[in-house]
Structure 1
Amino acid sequence: MFATISTAADNRVARMAGIGLMLAGICLFSLGDAIGKYLVRDHSVGQLLLLRALAALLVLSPSIWRYRAEFFRLERPRLQLVRMVLSTVDVAAFFAATVYLPLADVITFYLAVPIFVTAGSAIFLHEPVGWRRWSAVAVGFCGVLIALQPSAQSFTWPALIALCGSAAFASLMLLTRTLRAAPDVVLAATQFAGSLGFGIVMAPIGWVTPSLSDAGMFLLGGVTSVCALLCVNRSLKLAPASVVVPYQYTMIIWAVLFGYAVFGDLPSLATLIGAAIIVAAGLYIFLREQKLGYVPEVSPPV
């Protein structure tokens, strides 16, 4: 009996920690998005991914060396390769879309990811998803639509690129949950290795030598991305994807803050109303998780 209570308490703490790490990761991802959009004004997407990946792998190099043996005994190597490809498609599509579309429009597509992941986690990972959580995710997505008000550009090729990127990101989240036994540094390093490979091929096309300040921004972007990935990957190890992924809705809050700080964009009333709805939906999920505590997981299919 006491062992059961202890297990329930431990799982509740793990879920709360997973939610906190997802919130931190989304904040850092949003900062990285703002940095990336700033850099692709003068540099190609391939160059961005190359220099960003180099900076990230440089930061990760001590951990990569420490866990070097893990890279030779990867869990499900084919799935790891698929995950690496999905990560590269996600990042390349996102920044390619921001070249042609406002950041808010691109984020609109990416904030649909919780819908994809909640459905996918129930279908493919067999995670329990109740009607209340489905309802909270749907309400949160309505808040996204109110806040971002997708423009008439929603059906252009850049928008389709963003939509493909969001689908790749959702699939990446599900695979990360499936491969949660792999060390965090392995998951992060393989993602950046994919970006590095893409950058090596594409960066020479339209290469622009970065200024000293831009080089610093590339370095900051890489460090930020490492921290964000480690937070999100650890979050997905600690808690079910359907629990933590809805907190990506907080991206709109950071988009407002970084949009004003970096690009001088002032939020509209619709943005503020939508953000309030998103926060309310996220808080509902958080409070319900505290009330429910531990829900037994079903092992993912092999």
Structure 2
Amino acid sequence: MDRDEPNPLLGIALKVSSVLVFVAMSTFIKSAGDGIATGQITFYRSAFAMVPILCYLAVKGDLATAFKTRDPFGHLIRGFIGILAMSCGFYGLTHLPLPEAIAIGYAMPLLAVVFAAVFLKEVVRIYRWSAVIVGLVGVMIITYPRLTLFAGGGGEAGAAYGALAVLLSAALGATAMVLVRKLVMNERTHTIVLYFSLSASLFSLLTLPFGWEPLTWRAFLFLMAAGFCGGVAQLLLTQSYRYADMSTIAPFEYTSIVLGLVIGYWLFDDVPTVTMLIGTAIVISAGIFIILREHRLGLERRAARKHVTPQG
């Protein structure tokens, strides 16, 4: 991806905007109402996301090249894993309070560190491993009250399965991140974004015989808005990386929990529990530690390269 002139404040503004729109997407999905099949939600989210993406590519003059790919099979696998992650996440979102679903989803970047070490052979040192372990402990603190149902501790079955679904979504999402890391070596960013929305739409159509129902106008409009927000948020996120380093903007991902708490309380009467707040604080602390550690290592590597004496 080509980098424009660095502008950290603009990059941060775009990142926060993307987080806001992603939370709006989740809010629209929850507002659509219960009883809508997960595959049906996923289809509308993916199909309508293509509208702003295609418009953006057309304006930029990149529409013709966006469909050209060197790795169609890679896009297919990434799309399949991504659609599974999205479906699990939407199932959990419709069965959990909004801030709780957001907080459990923070397990994804932690698991991505583990998967990158295992599958991409990236070097992960003791500091990052320690932060990952602490962060995952925080995730377990958040989910434990829900999972006690399976140990005979009572609770609502829907919420318990919702917590497991979001955990599975985080694991699948981390896998998709690893696949994207491989794709970006040979593919353009807008090609990856476009093919994911396209493949997700097609894969979700396969669930048509399994519980799809006619939608009310209210539900249709909410799901259409969710899809449009998903596409806009993806574009904002992609643009944010053009103006600022990832280590600069990544911590602002955690503004989503603040938005989730406010919207959850205001629209859905979701009151956070003490264990959820404690677990969330642990997860966020671990995530920010990893980001700052990577930023410091990046500075050290750049400084080392500057001091290397040319040979010859």
Do both proteins adopt the same fold according to a TM-score greater than 0.5, normalized to the shorter chain?
A: yes
Q: Aligned partner of 1:87: which letter?
A: G
Provide the residue aligned with 1:73 in structure 2.
68
Provide the residue aligned with 1:178 in structure 2.
182
Contact 1:153 1:159 in 2 (8 A): no
Provide the residue aligned with 2:155 in structure 1.
none
Contact 2:53 2:235 in 1 (8 A): no
Q: Aligned partner of 1:197: which letter?
A: L
Provide the residue aligned with 2:213 in structure 1.
207
Alignment of 1:251-290 (within 5 A): 252-290=257-295
Provide the residue aligned with 2:48 in structure 1.
55
Q: Aligned partner of 1:29: which letter?
A: F
Q: What is the RMSD computed on CA atoms of the aligned residues?
A: 3.9
Q: Could you tell me how far apart the structure 2 residues matched to 1:70 and 1:79 are? A: 18
Q: How many residues align?
A: 284
Alignment of 1:1-302 (within 5 A): 25-65=18-58, 66-100=61-95, 110-151=105-146, 152-153=148-149, 161-181=165-185, 182-203=187-208, 205-211=211-217, 213-230=218-235, 252-294=257-299
Distance 1:229 1:198, change over 3 A: same
Could you give the per-residue CA deviations for residues 18-64 of structure 1, whole angstroms, max 9, x where no partner exists? 99877665554343233223325143223322322232111122234
Compute the TM-score of the two structures, normalised by the length of structure 2: 0.71
Provide the residue aligned with 2:157 in structure 1.
none
Q: Aligned partner of 1:77: which letter?
A: P
Contact 1:47 1:199 in 2 (8 A): yes
Could you give the per-residue CA deviations for residues 97-133 of structure 1, whole angstroms, max 9, x where no partner exists? 4445555665565433233211111232233322112
Could you give the per-residue CA deviations for residues 268-299 of structure 1, whole angstroms, max 9, x where no partner exists? 233333333333333433433443334669xx
Could you give the per-residue CA deviations for residues 176-200 of structure 1, whole angstroms, max 9, x where no partner exists? 1222253332222222212321343
Percent identity at matched positions?
26
Unmatched 5+ residue regions in structure 1? 1-9, 298-302
Compute the TM-score of the two structures, normalised by the length of structure 1: 0.73
Q: Aligned partner of 2:183: which letter?
A: L
SS of equivalent residue, structure 2 residue 70 = coil
Q: Could you tell me how far apart the structure 2 residues matched to 1:42 and 1:225 are? A: 21
SS of equivalent residue, structure 1 residue 167 = helix
Q: Aligned partner of 1:83: which letter?
A: R
Distance 1:188 1:26, change over 3 A: same
Q: In the TM superposition, what is the alpha-carbon distance from 1:246 to its structure 2 partner?
A: 8.7
Unmatched 5+ residue regions in structure 2? 152-159, 303-312
